[in-house]
Structure 1
Amino acid sequence: MTLQTVELSVELAEKSILGTMLKENYLISDSGIHAEYFNTQIHKNIFLGMQELVSTNKPADYITLLTVKEPSELGGANYLLDLINFENTVKFEQYQKILSDHWREQKKNNILFQAQAENWELPAIQKALDNLQNQQNVSGVTSVKEKLVSMAERPYVKSVSQKGITTGLRDLDKMLNGFQPSELTILAARPSMGKTDTMNHFALSAGWAGYLPILFSLEMSEETEIDRLIASTGSYSRLKMREPFEYFTDEQKKKWIPTLTRLSQANIEIDDRAGLTVAEIRAKARQLIKENPNQKPIIFIDYLQIIRGENPRDNQTQIVGQISWDLKQMAKEFKCPVVCLSQLSRAVESRQDKRPMMSDLRDSGNIEQDADVIAFLYRDDYYDKESENQNLLEINIAKHRNGPTGAVMAAYIKETGRLLNIDWGHRQK
């Protein structure tokens, strides 16, 4: 790649970064970008103007920028307005890396040039290069000594259990202690086993508990997904939901508005775009999290195998492996639980015992390695219509990085898609 091509690539990346910041002002302070990263003085001036505006809680746009800087310093009003055309929220992180890598390369070349001109000793060169490398990585460093000092009183003070986001199922909460921040949970099953209904139950429970459920429905339309949520919330038959006017009883119609009101209180956000990449999911989640600063998020994705890979040349196993790693990094970045549904291979159907195993994870890639929790769904009555275990859903925790494994049971009403706790004492009478 020629020097001219590199410079053009960096210039376009800078324009896209600035255009995206004009649309999403929170990125000005949250991205970790500094004015010195920009290659041109005009772009540095624009960024500094943005920082000045957000520091005083003012919006940063092409009009307000002209109030803090002279037009000539910003390339003119038309230049500012044109930056909006380069906005790309999804590729922001990719362009940010281009910018920081180019800045680091320039700084490295300057160090080597100065070292040669002034005949530096080798240790001095190494120290300067190490300082440069650490300049962008310092935020991840933690002092173990400081942590140990803060733990001095730990054996003498009763600890407060840090409960995660409720699953809405009593026995599952006991096993997982709720969905934990920064953890990736994979919920896997064969088709029609109840994955989406289980996810919806988790989303509703989290929303009613005051959290922000962000649901990416890659397979199902928003309208269908909302109908499922209504059916679960109001205990409506999904068959009757197809034509409520004709099939609902007067009593069911009477509780329609209260059901919608109750569902609205869950504050669920749905994105039903098909073929999203993890980068696109991350960008949308970041936007919603920023718009709802008083609610802790939990992200749900339906489902893993239809997330689009970034590199079309990879095979499916490589794609799924990369996606699972990216999902784990997203959970860590947002410090929130990520719950992703997954399909299982047909190998389940060829066994006498059809309870899923780790090896059944479809195109597993690194799913087993990346996930903190892997849960399999199983229903006896799915395979045996005469089974005594009617309307019972088994949730088998096959992997739990930070806790116990085992199976818990929930009542599952297929007609409405609703999950319920089981009162075993009452059931045995």
Structure 2
Amino acid sequence: MTNELVEKSLLGTMMEENYLVLDSGIQIAFFETQLHKNIFLSMKDLAVQGRSIDFITLLTTREPAELGGANYVSDLRRFANPARFDEYLDIVIDKWKKLETAKILQQAIMEQWPIADIHKALDEIDSDHTSDELRLLDDYLVSQYERPFIEAPDMTGISTGLQSMDYLLNGFQDSEFIVIAARPSMGKTDTLNHFALTAGLEGHLPIVFSLEMSHKTLSDRLIASTGGYSRLKMRNPYKYFPEPQKNSWMTSLELLQSATIRIDDRSGIKVSQMKAAARKVIKAQSDKRPIIFVDYLQIIRPEEGTLNQNQAIGQISADLKAMAKEFNCPVVVLSQLSRAVEQRQDKQPMMSDLRDSGNIEQDADVVCFLYRDDYYDRDSELTNHLEITVAKHRNGPVGGFTVYYDKDTGRLGKLHDSNRGECTYDHS
């Protein structure tokens, strides 16, 4: 039996036994043909919504041609074979494993991986996609016997550099997918720079994927934030810098250099390309704890075969979460909010404003919104106030707080009654 017929049998069986779509552990990557990927993706969308999956409902999910046509979908029921579903699924998975193994070996040769890394990657093909492999809870419980008698660190995550945020999140946690969302010009990139600089100066490994801004522009922003320089004056520091700022220039550059921030400014790259680039850096700096930043989600290029924007963003969101788990590090991603914010009297962002896909809300472990009152009201008394709201926190509390934000230098810091922020990067 050819792989095409096996895949048809799986799809036909899932049309009869709808529970198998979510309970079988089958993944879109297991299918070879794009047509079958489309059909399974439509089945999965219906299953997630709690709707029945049949000939009629499938054809309502997208253009019939994208599913092979009405006759093709109807014909799938002829191949249904619930009794042999597990056997056929094993055939498809075995074929997928062989293809993945070939890809890993090819990549390992090109990038000259160590033998240990090759073995680990090959082992993960089995461990990551075996639906019946369960871990015994006892193994973890044994390691926890002395936990109440050993002093734990005040914070287990990577510090955000903002006391209130660290209190809520306990820092950025490993394996978590964190979304920082706002409308344009709210300070998203400056917030990301603050987090990256804080992490770097604390000895961690910040990796920044800047899809929108060039390496030079982002670097200048980091210099301005580190030294507290006006970005406007930095266009001609010889002319506009006072002597004290000229004298502090080298010190600021050396401090920024010590943060060892890695920047990849390729536009329109895919998550798979980010993973490949990050993997090299993490291997080379294995003594440091990595944290990945992405600016921003909506301009990441989807993998081939994605049909529409909603599905593309949904897949990208899932891939970013998977990257956080694979590298066991925080992945902090900026995201645009929809224009619906501008049409309301109350401009405070809400979860439904996340643009293009509900998958972002579903996949993210943490969702934070940024808001500046003085952006919408020029006469606002809340000048240089940046409100940060933790709207979703899978493993802890939610809440909001306000920090000082200097739009001229890009600095974030503690808010004082005098409306001046204190944000210095003295980690000597």
Once residues 373 and 14 of structure 1 are traced to their aligned partners in structure 2, the CA distance between those partners, rounded to angstroms, is 33
Once residues 202 and 272 of structure 1 are traced to their aligned partners in structure 2, the CA distance between those partners, rounded to angstroms, is 18
Once residues 220 and 248 of structure 2 are traced to their aligned partners in structure 1, the CA distance between those partners, rounded to angstroms, is 15
From 240, 246, 251, the equivalent of 1:253 is: 246
From 246, 270, 277, the equivalent of 2:263 is: 270
Once residues 223 and 134 of structure 1 are traced to their aligned partners in structure 2, the CA distance between those partners, rounded to angstroms, is 42
Q: Which amino acid aligns with 1:150?
A: S
From 81, 104, 108, the equivalent of 1:21 is: 108
From 228, 233, 242, the equivalent of 2:235 is: 242
| Equivalent residues, number | 330
Q: Which amino acid aligns with 2:115?
A: I
Q: Secondary structure at the match of 2:415?
A: coil
From 159, 172, 182, the equivalent of 1:179 is: 172
Offset of residue 425 of structure 1: 9.6
Offset of residue 140 of structure 1: 6.5
Offset of residue 146 of structure 1: 2.3
From 129, 137, 148, the equivalent of 1:144 is: 137
Q: Secondary structure at the match of 1:32?
A: helix
- Conservation of the 8 A alpha-carbon contact between 1:26 and 1:290: no
Once residues 110 and 231 of structure 2 are traced to their aligned partners in structure 1, the CA distance between those partners, rounded to angstroms, is 41
Question: TM-score by structure 1 length?
Answer: 0.70
Once residues 317 and 159 of structure 1 are traced to their aligned partners in structure 2, the CA distance between those partners, rounded to angstroms, is 42
Q: Which amino acid aligns with 1:342?
A: S
Q: Which amino acid aligns with 1:26?
A: W
From 379, 384, 387, the equivalent of 1:394 is: 387
Moved more, 366-375 or 310-319: 310-319
From 358, 364, 388, the equivalent of 1:371 is: 364
Report the counterpart of residue 116 of structure 1 in structure 2. none
- Conservation of the 8 A alpha-carbon contact between 1:317 and 1:364: yes
Report the counterpart of residue 288 of structure 2 in structure 1. 295
Once residues 251 and 152 of structure 2 are traced to their aligned partners in structure 1, the CA distance between those partners, rounded to angstroms, is 40
Structure 2 unaligned regions, length at least 5: 4-95, 421-428
| 1:419 maps onto 2:406 in alignment | no
Cα gap change, 1:144/1:215 in structure 2, threshold over 3 Å: closer, same or farther?
A: same
Once residues 10 and 186 of structure 1 are traced to their aligned partners in structure 2, the CA distance between those partners, rounded to angstroms, is 32
Report the counterpart of residue 208 of structure 2 in structure 1. 215
Q: Secondary structure at the match of 1:214?
A: strand
Once residues 174 and 103 of structure 2 are traced to their aligned partners in structure 1, the CA distance between those partners, rounded to angstroms, is 31
- Conservation of the 8 A alpha-carbon contact between 1:185 and 1:371: yes
Deviations 1:274-302 (A, max 9, x none): 00100000110001100111111000000
Report the counterpart of residue 18 of structure 2 in structure 1. none
Report the counterpart of residue 359 of structure 1 in structure 2. 352
Question: TM-score by structure 2 length?
Answer: 0.70
The higher radius of gyration belongs to 1
Q: Secondary structure at the match of 1:181?
A: coil
Offset of residue 15 of structure 1: 7.5
Offset of residue 143 of structure 1: 1.9
Offset of residue 31 of structure 1: 3.1
- Conservation of the 8 A alpha-carbon contact between 2:340 and 2:353: yes
Offset of residue 240 of structure 1: 1.1
| 1:286 maps onto 2:373 in alignment | no
Alignment of 1:297-376 (within 5 A): 297-376=290-369
Once residues 179 and 361 of structure 1 are traced to their aligned partners in structure 2, the CA distance between those partners, rounded to angstroms, is 21
Alignment of 1:96-115 (within 5 A): none
- Conservation of the 8 A alpha-carbon contact between 1:374 and 1:398: yes
- Conservation of the 8 A alpha-carbon contact between 2:390 and 2:400: yes
Q: Which amino acid aligns with 1:248?
A: F
Q: Which amino acid aligns with 2:277?
A: K
| 1:383 maps onto 2:376 in alignment | yes
Offset of residue 136 of structure 1: 7.8
- Conservation of the 8 A alpha-carbon contact between 1:183 and 1:331: yes
Identity of aligned residues (%): 56
Q: Secondary structure at the match of 1:168?
A: coil
| 1:197 maps onto 2:190 in alignment | yes
Once residues 220 and 411 of structure 2 are traced to their aligned partners in structure 1, the CA distance between those partners, rounded to angstroms, is 13
Q: Secondary structure at the match of 1:260?
A: helix
Once residues 135 and 423 of structure 1 are traced to their aligned partners in structure 2, the CA distance between those partners, rounded to angstroms, is 49
Report the counterpart of residue 401 of structure 2 in structure 1. 408
